[in-house]
Every structure is written in structure tokens, then in C-alpha cells.
């Protein structure tokens, strides 16, 4: 085999692999169903992080947002969140699918402003905690039919912002030290 034929074979292989990746990428852009995962490491005990997740304080992602969160009295596994922004408000109903304290919390968006299953029947959102020696890893996963790539990217951005706010709210002040696990 000559060097030229080996080089031609290599180019064809690289172009073939690139074409497969492009096909996969455009298929993901075209599809509405997406899963997005964001992670952060928080230098706080899992109990402290869990208390911030479960009290709803982490949704305050955008400046000027007011959040009121409560469980419905007739359905204890449904959380009602009223989000107010610039004089308007939205009502979000989330059903808790799984609540495993200090490990994972999974919810499904039942309705937003009366629209049933806005992100599809298979939509869910999960906070999972993985304790480590000096920090707790928090994994936020979102799955659903976000409608468009822009909508999915905006949802991912909001998730990242939520994790940033969770980190800021959960980490102790600089004077406190995260004790090592025995």
C-alpha cells in the first residue's frame, strides 16, 4: 500500500465519523425530547444542601423574582409554586414522583398556568445528592419535550443558575469549616 492510499483511507474515515456526528447533532436539534444534566460541587454537608432544595429557596434564579411555595392540603405530593415577576405571576403545579431525603428528589411538572403537562408526559426534573469527603456533589437532571433547541438551552441555563444559587445559599460562611467525615 502506498502512502497516498493510506492517507486517502484516513481522510475518508475521518469524514465518515464527522458525518455521523453531524447527523446525530442535527437529529438532537430536530427532536423535541431532550435530557440535560448539570452538576456542581458544594462544600457543605448533604443535610444543609437538602434543606435548601426542599424549602424551595433555590428557584430564585432571576433578579426581581418572588416565589411562594406550598404543598396542596388535599394532595400532599403536589407542590404549588407561585412565581411573580414584574407585576405578573405564574402558577406551577409539580407532582413529587420520588422523595428520598438526602439522596434524590424527582418532580413532574403537572401544569403551568392551567396548561397540562407543558413539557410532555415523560417530563421530570431530579435533584440528586452524592456526598463526598469534603463536598457534596449535586446533580440536576431535566428531561422533557422542550419544543425547540432555544427552549432547551434556556431551561439548561436556568438549571445552571439554580445550582449556582443553591451553592451560594448552602455553603457556610468563610469562618465555618467543612469538617472531614470520620
Give per-residue pLDDT as tens, 118-170. 777 778 888 899 998 889 999 999 888 776 677 777 778 888 888 888 888 88
Q: What is the mean pLDDT of residues 95-111?
A: 86
13 with 100, same domain: the answer is no
88 with 157, same domain: the answer is yes
**In-domain check, residue 69:** yes
**In-domain check, residue 133:** yes
66 pLDDT higher than 70: no
**In-domain check, residue 178:** no
CATH (domain of 71): 3.30.530.20
Distance set, CA 43 to CA 14, 55, 161 (Å): 43, 19, 17
16 with 47, same domain: the answer is no
**In-domain check, residue 40:** yes
Residue 132: Cβ within 10 Å count: 12
26 with 37, same domain: the answer is no
Q: What is the mean pLDDT of residues 21-30?
A: 69
CA atoms within 13 A on the CB side of 105: 20
Whether the predicted model's global pTM rises above the 0.85 cut: no
Residue 2: domain span:
1-30
Residue 10: Cβ within 10 Å count: 10
**In-domain check, residue 179:** no
Angle (CA) 51-116-60 rounded to 5° is 30
12 with 76, same domain: the answer is no
55 with 25, same domain: the answer is no
Amino acid at each position: 500500500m502506498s502512502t497516498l492510499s493510506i492517507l486517502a483511507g484516513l481522510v475518508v474515515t475521518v469524514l465518515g465519523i464527522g458525518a455521523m456526528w453531524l447527523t446525530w447533532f442535527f437529529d438532537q436539534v430536530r427532536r423535541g425530547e431532550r435530557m440535560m444534566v448539570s452538576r456542581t460541587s458544594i462544600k457543605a454537608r448533604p443535610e444543609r444542601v437538602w434543606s435548601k432544595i426542599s424549602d424551595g429557596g433555590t428557584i430564585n434564579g432571576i433578579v426581581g423574582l418572588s416565589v411562594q411555595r406550598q404543598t396542596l392540603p388535599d394532595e400532599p405530593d403536589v407542590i404549588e409554586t407561585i412565581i411573580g415577576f414584574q407585576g405578573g405571576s405564574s402558577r406551577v403545579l409539580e407532582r413529587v414522583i420520588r422523595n428520598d431525603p438526602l439522596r434524590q428528589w424527582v418532580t413532574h411538572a403537572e401544569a403551568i398556568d392551567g396548561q397540562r403537562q407543558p413539557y410532555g408526559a415523560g417530563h421530570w426534573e431530579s435533584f440528586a445528592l452524592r456526598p463526598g469527603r469534603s463536598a457534596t456533589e449535586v446533580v440536576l437532571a431535566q428531561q422533557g419535550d422542550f419544543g425547540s433547541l432555544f427552549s432547551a438551552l434556556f431551561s439548561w441555563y436556568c438549571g445552571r443558575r439554580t445550582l449556582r444559587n443553591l451553592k451560594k445559599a448552602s455553603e457556610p460562611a468563610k469562618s465555618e469549616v467543612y469538617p472531614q467525615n470520620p
